[in-house]
Amino acid sequence: MIDDAKSEKKQHTQNSMDRRDLLKVLSTVPAAAALFPAGAARAAEMSMPHRSGAPAAAAPASGDYQPTAFNPHEYKTVTVLSDIIVPADERSGSATQAGVPQFIDGWVGSQGGLDTIRGGITWLDLESNRAFGHDFVDASEAEKKQLLDRIAYPKTAAPDDAPGVVFFNRMRSLVLGGFYTSKMGIQDLPYMGNQMLSEWNGCPSNVLAKLGVSYEKT
């Protein structure tokens, strides 16, 4: 599965360019990191090439969504994992409330990467069945946690669990990417821009104070 993931990634890069690879390969763009620089150089001079996406449903999750890339079991697993990665909390809703499973279904369907997720789900179900005697979606909360804790922390994961780590890293990136590009996720961060301002006054004073900088010439 690791090999699959690699070859799939290669194909991915050829098709639509992975932003991580772009960072290494293309220095076209002054990197100006957005969230995480490994995936997130953002233009000072121009905008960074973005990885293409599927026509992505921005609508909230609804029970009657018919997945096009995943089969029903896979889609259910993606849905369960999405809400484990981004659950509702006091500030915002969950991944499914932000339409993330639909987004992922569309994204991997049109951009590639489906096999990484599909293979990962098969790996997860296999491990779940060996450990608990049922698929991951049917596992109890404690069982899910036990299994995910094996693959969610790359630095401490066992070498034999590497396929699960690769899968979960990709899953996490997709869920976070889908969530924080939704209206709900943008309000959660929050990103305060994308509006017309009549003038630019620079940073607010509370920000200047926190950073210990000012507009007074020294």
Site for another protein in 88-127 (CB under 8 A): 89, 91-92, 103, 107, 111
Whole-angstrom Cα distance, residue 5 to residue 15?
15
Judged by beta carbon, residue 51 or residue 118, the one nearer another protein is 51
Interface characters, 11-50, with another protein (x: CB under 8 A): -----xxxxx--xxxxxxxxxxxxxxxxxxxxxxxxxxxx
Judged by beta carbon, residue 71 or residue 183, the one nearer another protein is 183
Distances (CA, A) of 142 to 102, 113, 134, 147, 186: 26, 29, 14, 9, 31
Contact 42, 28 (CB under 8 A): no
Positions in 158-177 near another protein (CB under 8 A): 168-169, 172-173, 176-177
What DSSP line would sit under 83-140, residue for residue? HHHS---SSS--TGGGTHHHHHHHHHHHHS-HHHHHHHHHHHHHHHHHHHSS-GGGS-
Count other C-beta atoms under 10 Å from residue 108's C-beta: 22
Positions in 45-64 near another protein (CB under 8 A): 45-56, 58
Judged by beta carbon, residue 72 or residue 193, the one nearer another protein is 193
Judged by beta carbon, residue 3 or residue 197, the one nearer another protein is 197
Contact 46, 28 (CB under 8 A): yes
| Residue 80 interacting with another protein (CB under 8 A) | no
CB of 7 to another protein, least distance (A): 18
| Residue 181 interacting with another protein (CB under 8 A) | yes
Contact 117, 199 (CB under 8 A): no
| Residue 130 interacting with another protein (CB under 8 A) | no
| Residue 207 interacting with another protein (CB under 8 A) | yes
